[in-house]
Structure 1
Amino acid sequence: MTDIDRRAVASRVIRLLGGTLLMGVAIAALVRAQLGLLPLDVLHLAVSQHTGWTLGGAFIAVQATLLMTCLPLRIRPGTGTVAAAAIPALACDVVLASMPAPQNLAWKLLLFVTGGVLFAVGVALYLSAQMGTLPRDSLMLELHRRHPRLQPAPIRVVADATCLLTGWLLLGPITAVVDGTVGPATLLLAALLGPGIAFLVRRIKRYPTCSPHHRASS
């Protein structure tokens, strides 16, 4: 392995670890902001409250269940699949254990914006590492591969809507709104994060060590 190869591998590993760590911190920040969670995290929180597990434990349980769905479809999990399920879950639990919920609306808004930005950066980093995706993302990509007419964007919308509705009903529609799990910010996150992550992935891939053609062109 050449020095260029080693730098490329190191860059991918750093992006994977750094990105998944940021995802966990971001999820915890959004939970503490109490202005609305991402659709998938609404489901994670619902599972957490119904089982008594931590949010991280519920995160891992849901992703493990989805992973079992991937295996019969011959979707191979990668290193990133495991990392993106385990590291955010652990980081989220650690941060939640040490971060109190702010009472001031201004601090809640700041925490919400910070969480949203960190999550977009984290997901972009982990995706750009190209070492495997979360089971949900793998299922969406496989569905698109098998049925090219189904574009990833609408598939994601349907998946997010399903997770949101399921989690909302499990938590109780009124309770979920009152405690800040579901709110206008949930729709804002769902609408803005997709384009934001796509933009960041394109920017990250401009760096030489992020390009799969770097070795050939060097």
Structure 2
Amino acid sequence: MFARLVRLYGGLALYGLGIGFQVESGLGNDPWNAFHQGLALRTGLSIGTIIILVGALVMLLWIPLRQKPGIGTLSNVVFLGLFADAALWALPSPGHWAVSGLYLVLGVVSIGLATVLYIGAGMGAGPRDGVMTGLVRLGLSVRMANWVIQVTVLAAGWLLGGTIGVGTLVFAFAIGPVTQIFTRWFPLDRNSPDRRVPSDACRSRTTP
């Protein structure tokens, strides 16, 4: 249990750092963080606060999808936004395009590793992941469920003013292979009820 908690909270902290790198790079966010950033710009709230509020609202969709939250789910809602805000506060703004590119790479790598750590802890999917796994259980393929969610939040993020650019494309194409590599080093917990879906979804996932 101690090792699983370390994986869970270490993964969430690393995910928050990855969000910070991605947002500060200014090169483009993944769909969900473009949406979070857009809402933050419109409301004046911090990105971390928006992540917490959206996570809580998304969990309402779990009710009709008959998803059951775990300690990892609730921790994701509360702590991911806090870690993201801490990272955005601590990271200096890049003053050169090369530093922006480095931030983007570090963001992809951090989020790829973080995904394996917190999902592999087997303590419950994140609120956004839970919507995808719920749609899969209703009969959609992993790829189709992921595609519907990503396109919807990406369009909303763009309309709200979130940053979309080359970083968005890099993230979309790189996050799956990067996450898959890390699963070889940090195998997913065999007791996790979501073990199969994240393993398949990591080929194309872009959500926290």
Same fold (TM over 0.5): yes
Change (3 A) 1:12 1:204: same
Matching of residue 153 in structure 1 with residue 135 in structure 2: no
- Matches of 1:136 and 1:71, distance apart in 2: 13
Deviations 1:20-73 (A, max 9, x none): 000001101111111111110000011111111100000011111110111233
- Matches of 1:26 and 1:107, distance apart in 2: 15
Partner of 1:166: 156
- Matches of 1:73 and 1:159, distance apart in 2: 14
Conserved in 2, the CA contact under 8 Å of 1:60 and 1:89? yes
Deviations 1:106-148 (A, max 9, x none): 111111111110111011100100111122211111111121x
Partner of 2:202: none
Please state which structure has a larger fraction of its residues in helix: 1
Conserved in 1, the CA contact under 8 Å of 2:30 and 2:172? yes
- Matches of 1:78 and 1:190, distance apart in 2: 28
Letter in 2 for 1:187: L
List aligned pairs for 1:34-183, cutoff 5 A.
34-147=26-139, 150-171=140-161, 176=162, 181-183=163-165
Count matched residues.
Answer: 192
1:211 Cα offset (Å): 4.4
Letter in 1 for 2:48: G
Query: Post-superposition, which runs of at least 4 consecutive aligned residues in structure 1 deviate over 3 A?
Result: none
Conserved in 2, the CA contact under 8 Å of 1:22 and 1:88? no
Matching of residue 190 in structure 1 with residue 172 in structure 2: yes
Letter in 1 for 2:64: P
**Percent identity of paired positions between Structure 1 and Structure 2:** 33
- Matches of 1:153 and 1:201, distance apart in 2: 19
- Matches of 2:184 and 2:141, distance apart in 1: 19
Change (3 A) 1:192 1:157: farther
Matching of residue 203 in structure 1 with residue 203 in structure 2: no
Conserved in 2, the CA contact under 8 Å of 1:25 and 1:88? no
Deviations 1:180-209 (A, max 9, x none): x11022022022213332342343117xxx
**Aligned Cα RMSD in Å?**
1.8
Find the structure with the greater CA-based Rg: 1
Conserved in 2, the CA contact under 8 Å of 1:47 and 1:58? yes
Which SS does the other structure have where 1:44 is aligned?
helix
Unpaired segments of 5 or more residues in structure 1? 1-8, 213-218
- Matches of 2:122 and 2:16, distance apart in 1: 19
- Matches of 1:168 and 1:14, distance apart in 2: 35
- Matches of 1:159 and 1:136, distance apart in 2: 9
TM-score, normalised to structure 2's length? Answer: 0.86
Residues 132-141 or 50-59, more deviating: 132-141
